[in-house]
Amino acid sequence: MGVISTKTSAWFNGKPVIFLAGSPDNLRRLPFRPWGRKNLAACIVPAASKFTPPPKIPCIFDVPRDYCADLRDGDVVLIAPDGRIMVVYKAGSPYNSILATNRCNSLCVMCPQPPDRDPDDLYENNLQLISLLDPKTTEELGITGGEPTLLGEDLITLVQTCRQKLPNTVLTLLTNGRRLKDLEFARALVKAGSPNLLIETPLFADNDTEHDAVMGAKGSFYETLQGLHNLALLGQPVGLRTILHAMTIKRLTQYAAFIYQNLPFVFQVAFMGMETRGLASKNLAQLWVDPFDYQDQLAHAVRYLARRMVPVSIYNHQLCLLPRELWPFARKSITDWKQAYPPACDTCSQRECCGGIFGTGEKHSAFLRPIS
Partner 1 sequence: MPFRFSPVASNRMLVVNEVGEFIFLDRQTFERLVSYDLAPNTGIFLDLKGKHFVTDTAVTPVIDLLATKYRTKREFLKSFTGLHMVVVTLRCNQRCNYCHASSQPTDQQRWDMTPETAVNVVHKIMESPSEVIKIEFQGGEPLLNFEVVKTVVREAKRLNRKKNKHLDFVICTNLTLVDAPTLEYCKKEGITLSTSLDGPKEIHDRHRLMRTGEGSYDRFMQNLHFSRSILGHDGVNPLMTASQESLSHFNEIVDQYAALGFQGIFLRHVNPYGYAQNDATIQSFVYPMEDFVEAYKKALLYIIELNLAGTPLVEGYACILLSRILTPFCTGFVDLQSPTGAGINGVIYDFNGEVYPCDEARMLAKMGDRRFYLGNVNRDSYLDIFTSPVLQELIEVSCVETLPGCHSCPLQPYCGADPVRNYAIQGDLVGHRPTSDFCMKHKAIIEFLLELIDQDDPGVMDVFWSWITNRTLAEVRGEAPCSN
Alpha carbons 354 and 200: distance in angstroms, whole number:
23
Whether residue 356 contacts residue 339, with contact meaning beta carbons closer than 8 Å, is answered with yes
Containing 192, the helix (H) or strand (E) segment is helix 183-193
Alpha carbons 99 and 142: distance in angstroms, whole number:
8
Nearer to partner 1, 37 or 331 (CB): 331
262 binds partner 1 (CB under 8 A): yes
Residues 6+ apart with CB under 8 A from 357: 318, 334, 339, 340, 341, 342, 364, 368
**Residues 187-206, interacting with partner 1 (CB under 8 A):** 205-206
> Nearest CA to 36 among 54, 12, 60, 68?
12
Alpha carbons 20 and 3: distance in angstroms, whole number:
10
Whether residue 154 contacts residue 118, with contact meaning beta carbons closer than 8 Å, is answered with no
State the nearest-atom distance from the C-beta of 130 to partner 1, in Å: 30
State the nearest-atom distance from the C-beta of 128 to partner 1, in Å: 35
Nearer to partner 1, 98 or 302 (CB): 302
State the nearest-atom distance from the C-beta of 353 to partner 1, in Å: 5
Alpha carbons 277 and 188: distance in angstroms, whole number:
34
Instruction: State how far the alpha carbon of 242 is from the alpha carbons of 64, 145, 204, 252, 315, in Å.
Output: 39, 16, 5, 10, 10
207 binds partner 1 (CB under 8 A): yes
210 binds partner 1 (CB under 8 A): yes
Nearer to partner 1, 4 or 368 (CB): 368
State the nearest-atom distance from the C-beta of 137 to partner 1, in Å: 22
Q: Which of 208, 241, 246, 268 binds partner 1 (CB under 8 A)?
A: 208
251 binds partner 1 (CB under 8 A): yes
323 binds partner 1 (CB under 8 A): no
Site residue total, partner 1 (CB under 8 A): 39
Q: Which of 59, 127, 284, 306 binds partner 1 (CB under 8 A)?
A: 306
Q: Which of 261, 286, 347, 349 binds partner 1 (CB under 8 A)?
A: 261
Omega before residue 24 within 30° of 0, cis: yes
DSSP 250-307: TTHHHHHHHHHHH-TT-SEEEEEE----THHHHTHHHH---GGGGHHHHHHHHHHHHH
Buried b (16+ CB within 10 A) or exposed e, 300-328: ebbbbbbeeebebbbbbbbbbbbeeebee
Q: What value does the CA radius of gyration of the chain take, rounded to a whole number of Å?
A: 23
Task: Provide the mask over 328-357, with x wherever binding to partner 1 is found by CB under 8 A and - wherever it is not.
Answer: xxxxx-----------------x-xxxx--
**Which amino acid, one-letter code, is at 84?**
R
Q: Applying CB under 8 A, which part among 52-60, 63-71, 320-328, 359-367 lies near partner 1?
A: 320-328
Q: Applying CB under 8 A, which part among 105-113, 128-136, 162-170, 257-265 lies near partner 1?
A: 257-265
Q: Which of 61, 258, 341, 367 binds partner 1 (CB under 8 A)?
A: 258
Nearer to partner 1, 103 or 308 (CB): 308
> Nearest CA to 292 among 372, 211, 369?
369
Q: Which of 308, 338, 351, 369 binds partner 1 (CB under 8 A)?
A: 308
286 binds partner 1 (CB under 8 A): no
Q: Applying CB under 8 A, which part among 99-107, 122-130, 302-310, 338-346 lies near partner 1?
A: 302-310
Q: Applying CB under 8 A, which part among 5-13, 53-61, 83-91, 247-255 lies near partner 1?
A: 247-255
Q: Which residues bind partner 1 (CB under 8 A)?
A: 205-210, 219, 222, 225-226, 229, 250-251, 254, 257-258, 260-262, 264, 302-303, 306-309, 312, 325, 327-332, 350, 352-355
